[in-house]
Amino acid sequence: MTAEAPLPPGGTIGILGGGQLGRMLAMAAARLGLTCHIYSDVPDVPAFEGALHHTVAAYDDEAALLEFAKAVDVVTVEFENVPAEALATTARASAVFPPVRAVEVSQDRLIEKEFMKSHGIAVAPFACVDTERDLEAAVETIGTPSLLKTRRLGYDGKGQVKIATRADMETARAALAGVPSLLEAFIAFEAEVSVIAVRGRSGAVSFYDPSRNRHENQILAESRVPSGLPADIEDAARDIAARIVDDFDYVGVLCVEMFYCGADAERPLMVNEIAPRVHNSGHWTIDACIVSQFENHVRAIAGWPLGTTARHSDAVMTNLIGADVQDWPVLAGRDGVAVHLYGKREARPGRKMGHVTRLF
């Protein structure tokens, strides 16, 4: 596939990563007559069940990555912690979306914060922490409460420790064991909101309605639309997302997570983080929209026209975490509830096993 020509039905999309997001991408691709080839560094992952082909190899296996890239028409990612180097390797043999730069920026919290700040986008005050002296200086400047976060590989609350008072510094320091980190001011926000943006290869951009998110134990528990936020705040959130995808010359779905700090705040919206992929807070789009975030990501990277992002129903998406999945018989019997299970074999605490979406 060239950068200009759309991928016709029968073409193959390569997906780096084998989790539930890859599984749902493969299901959306099949609806459009496209096949998928999953590349994962571990066997027996959820996405394999929805794809025609799969490869199991390390993300630093250059030969395997190139063979994979040559076997597909376009490559994408299903989670942002696929090494950027792996994506760059596949770009030598295939079209790759999203751009490597977007993935690189999102993989390092410090670089991500600096990117936002350089574009005039509000973020929580932050400071780089590489040494014990850095931590002491950062706490002195930023104060408490604050969050000490690893720069890389953090998700679902992993890789971060709250410093409620200066007395917590030693515990925080020990917990992260000298890993390059940053200290970030703790923001007292009214709501967390996500914007799911999709940008096509033509440069066309669309947005799903912003969702209001609720977390439990630092893991997303629920996303609901409408968000209940003022219309001008939702418009401002879309504008922030548009600036980000345009700067990256992005192709595909990107999620921007933001804090709403209140109408009277100096900066009502602060960006928490970006995810250059389909996102958990957009799962409601499968059932409440004609074209889901997954199908629109496939459309975008394949060079198809973007589908409508309009919502036909109000919705609440609830994650099934760990043992929650055991309630599937009850959930499956409820009217107005769509059940999505990911096929994972073991229900561990904190593990996302599926989700349900209630329409109303």
Q: Where are the domains of the chain?
A: 12-96, 125-185, 191-359
What residues are paired with 189 via a beta bridge? none
Residue 299, both tokens: 């459309």
Which DSSP letter does residue 298 get?
H
pLDDT at residue 132 greater than cutoff 90 = no
Q: How many residues does the chain have?
A: 360
Residues 176-216 pLDDT 10s: 677 889 999 999 999 999 999 999 999 999 999 999 999 99
Instruction: Give the CATH superfamily of 125-185.
Output: ATP-grasp fold, A domain (3.30.1490.20)
* Confidence (pLDDT) at 262: 95
Beta partners for 252? 199
Q: What letter would DSSP give residue 249?
A: T
Rounded alpha-carbon distances, angstroms, from residue 109 to 104, 119, 126, 154:
10, 16, 10, 9
Report percent pLDDT > 70 for the chain: 97
pLDDT at position 1 is 44
pLDDT at residue number 176: 67
What is the reported pLDDT for 157?
55
**What architecture does CATH give domain 12-96?**
3-Layer(aba) Sandwich (3.40)
Q: Which of 82, 235, 246, 197 is nearest to 90 (CA)?
A: 82
Fold adopted by 191-359: D-amino Acid Aminotransferase; Chain A, domain 1 (3.30.470)
Residue 322 corresponds to which tokens in the numbers above?
Answer: 């760990």
Is the pLDDT confidence value at 112 over 80? Answer: yes
Residue 30, pLDDT score: 97
Helix locations, the chain, DSSP H: 20-31, 62-70, 84-90, 100-106, 109-118, 132-142, 169-176, 231-247, 285-288, 293-302, 328-332
**Better-predicted residue by pLDDT, 317 or 175:** 317
Topology alike, domains 12-96 and 191-359:
no
pTM of the model: 0.95
Does the pLDDT at position 219 exceed 90? yes
Q: pLDDT tens-digit profile of 19-65?
A: 999 999 999 999 999 999 999 999 999 999 999 999 999 999 999 99
Distances (CA, A) of 160 to 100, 186, 275: 25, 12, 17
User: pLDDT digit string (tens) for 236-254?
Assistant: 999 999 999 999 999 999 9
pLDDT at 161: 87
Structure tokens that stand for 265 in this block: 């705040």
Q: What is the pLDDT of residue 62?
A: 98
What's the chain's average pLDDT?
94
Place 2 in a pLDDT band, splitting at 50, 70 and 90: very low
What pLDDT digit, counting tens, does each position of 303-354 carry?
999 999 999 999 999 999 999 999 999 999 999 999 999 999 999 999 999 9
Average pLDDT over residues 136-141: 91
pLDDT at residue 154 in the model: 62
Categorize the per-residue pLDDT at 172 as very low, low, confident or very high, splitting at 50, 70 and 90: confident
Query: What's the pLDDT tens digit per position in 59-108?
Result: 999 999 999 999 999 999 999 889 999 999 999 999 999 999 999 999 99
How many Cβ atoms are within 10 Å of 71's Cβ, its own excluded? Answer: 15
Q: Confidence band (pLDDT; 50, 70, 90) for 133?
A: confident
